[in-house]
Structure 1
Amino acid sequence: MEIRALSLDEVRTVIDWAADEGWNPGVHDAQLFFRADPQGFLGAFIDHQLVGSISAVCYGDDFAFLGLYLVKPELRGQGIGSQLWAHAMQRVEGRTVGLDGVVDMQSSYARSGFALAYRNIRFGGQVRDVPPLSDAMVVIGRDDLHRIQSLDRATFGADRSAFLADWLSQPEGHSWAYVEDGQIRGFGTVRACREGFKVGPLVADSALVAAEVFNALAKSVGDGGPIYLDVPEPNVAAVDLARAVGLSPVFETARMYAKGNPDLDIPLIFGVTSFELG
């Protein structure tokens, strides 16, 4: 078996696997993820055929995030995943490492030194009767990155400027910010997915601001399908917002960390960017 870094086309294959697992990736996730760390996507090959994957995306020298940990169903239980895991952990050595673990893998991650921080709950459903936009809402993109960096850093735990610039301006995506007295108090992005749309990140300094940003994002996509929002359970205001706009729980993960725990400002996090890259 060979383990090596994946090409963009191979990452696209892995994203298709994620869709088969019901993870509902974004339409443009492959290229956006790959650009975040082109050496950060590892694949296992048997007879030159891709049979497993894991992402180990590094954000500088201090933080990394694991995801897309998949082995073809017919080959599971043969040690392929264990070898991928070892390579990924070697790549992120010396860093605090985060992941969002599905329920049936959480005990395995705990044995590898990862500790539970909190649950993330995916809410989903149709959003109807969106109220008119607040006058404080403005469209943002790549050129506005410098205005939201401090908010993002407080809610992610590392500098991810290059990734965020791409994320804000992705095709079939919409990004909005709530601006008061020239200051951004909240921002968010909604992106097209295999099914419907996902909101994330959604960051705001109050529940009112978060609701205004969410409404702008929902109005941007109209009635194009269900909307999903991944919410950190400890932020009760975020859970309340998801329910208030008509969304229901459909999935959950455990946010887990090894080698430290970033000091995140959880009350600001109303929506996680992605379960794959954090």
Structure 2
Amino acid sequence: MSDVIDPAHDFVVRPMKPDEIGLAIQWAEQEGWNPGLHDAACFRIADPNGFFVGTLRDEPIGSISAVRYGQHFGFIGLYIVKPEYRGRGFGYRIWQHAIKYLSNRNIGLDGVVAQQDNYRQSGFQLAHRNIRFQGVAQCMQSAPMTPLAEVPFDQLASYDRQCFPASRDRFLAAWIAQPDSIARAAWHNGRLEGYGVLRKCRTGHKIGPLFANDVSTAEALLNALFAQCAGETVALDVPEPNVTAVALAQRYGMNSVFETARMYTRAQPAIPLARLFGVTTFELG
């Protein structure tokens, strides 16, 4: 076979097969993103058609996710090109495919801060930073929280919709029930006041989402989840504008280790960042 690459024929962007999402998760692990053990299965449920792979002469060399949430919102993640193929235009071809798939929607992403200028060229504007805090889970005494499975799902979905730009019921149902995870709710007198999910990752655990009406509820949920992984490494991705959430993470000895630029192609969704104490996932929003 010739060593001369014909981009028009040798490089193809196509939908991922179900087992190829796991390959993208492996690449994410190699990038140091520390994905969850069961992210691939949960991600696919969000939008089975929204994952794409770039192949060069049938070899997978790049990935992207472009998840449609309803008719008006979408989110881009898992944008990875294998290191040896970077700088040759393959990533941009994959990117264009994802943007086309999400056309006519407000598109969000959590991008590497250094790539903001590139994203701006595609119409994205900075909304705020998300900061990854990481530390060792401290087991503090707190009031017991209700297992999230005991909360009626319609009430959970309604609460989640207040904190996320679109309905995501299929993903949510899978996310809160995934193996190697703990989900807890602040549930009082038939009213949901917050919830959080702890999932096992390649290294340690991540908490996300952590949504709550106020900081005292968020702290109670955080304690309940920390109790399930006391002494182990845990990470929490916090929207920087929620200064109360930042202070909460710092109060528990967590340190900033990474940050992303949350960007959108249209106006920032009207969701209350004061209730977002932890982002669900940088890959899917």
Give the TM-score normalised by structure 1.
Answer: 0.96
Map of 1:217 onto structure 2: 225
Map of 2:257 onto structure 1: 250
Per-residue CA deviation, residues 69-105 of structure 1 (Å, 9 max, x unaligned), is 1101011011001111111011000111000011221
Of 85, 97, 101, 1:75 maps to: 85
Q: Which amino acid aligns with 2:240?
A: E
CA distance in 2, matches of 1:170, 1:141: 12
Deviation at 1:228, TM superposition (A): 0.1
Conserved in 1, the CA contact under 8 Å of 2:62 and 2:81?
Answer: yes
Of 192, 205, 209, 1:201 maps to: 209
CA distance in 1, matches of 2:228, 2:17: 33
Deviation at 1:142, TM superposition (A): 8.2
Conserved in 2, the CA contact under 8 Å of 1:127 and 1:227?
Answer: yes
Q: Counterparts in 2 of 1:1-278, with a 5 A limit?
A: 1-128=11-138, 130-135=139-144, 137-141=145-149, 144-223=152-231, 225-278=232-285
Moved over 3 A (4+): none
Deviation at 1:34, TM superposition (A): 1.0
Deviation at 1:133, TM superposition (A): 3.2
Map of 2:3 onto structure 1: none
Q: Which amino acid aligns with 2:248?
A: L
Deviation at 1:260, TM superposition (A): 3.1
Conserved in 2, the CA contact under 8 Å of 1:67 and 1:275?
Answer: yes
CA distance in 2, matches of 1:4, 1:276: 19
Higher Cα radius of gyration = 2
CA distance in 2, matches of 1:30, 1:215: 27
Q: Which amino acid aligns with 2:276?
A: I
Secondary structure at 2:172 match in 1: helix
Q: Which amino acid aligns with 1:98?
A: G
Which piece of structure 1 moves more, 138-147 or 157-166?
138-147
Aligned-residue Cα RMSD (Å) equals 1.2
Secondary structure at 1:8 match in 2: coil
Q: % of aligned pairs identical?
A: 45
Conserved in 1, the CA contact under 8 Å of 2:68 and 2:75?
Answer: yes
CA distance in 2, matches of 1:168, 1:62: 24
Per-residue CA deviation, residues 142-201 of structure 1 (Å, 9 max, x unaligned), is 863212223211211100011001101110000000112221111000000011000000
Deviation at 1:264, TM superposition (A): 1.1
Q: Which amino acid aligns with 1:148?
A: L
CA distance in 1, matches of 2:205, 2:150: 20
**Aligned residue pairs, count:** 275
Structure 1 residues without counterparts, runs of 5 or longer: none
Give the TM-score normalised by structure 2.
Answer: 0.94
Conserved in 2, the CA contact under 8 Å of 1:62 and 1:95?
Answer: yes
Structure 2 residues without counterparts, runs of 5 or longer: 1-10
Q: Which amino acid aligns with 1:39?
A: N
Per-residue CA deviation, residues 96-150 of structure 1 (Å, 9 max, x unaligned), is 100001122111001111000000000001022x223314x10112863212223
Per-residue CA deviation, residues 216-267 of structure 1 (Å, 9 max, x unaligned), is 11112233x2000000000011001101111000000010000332111100
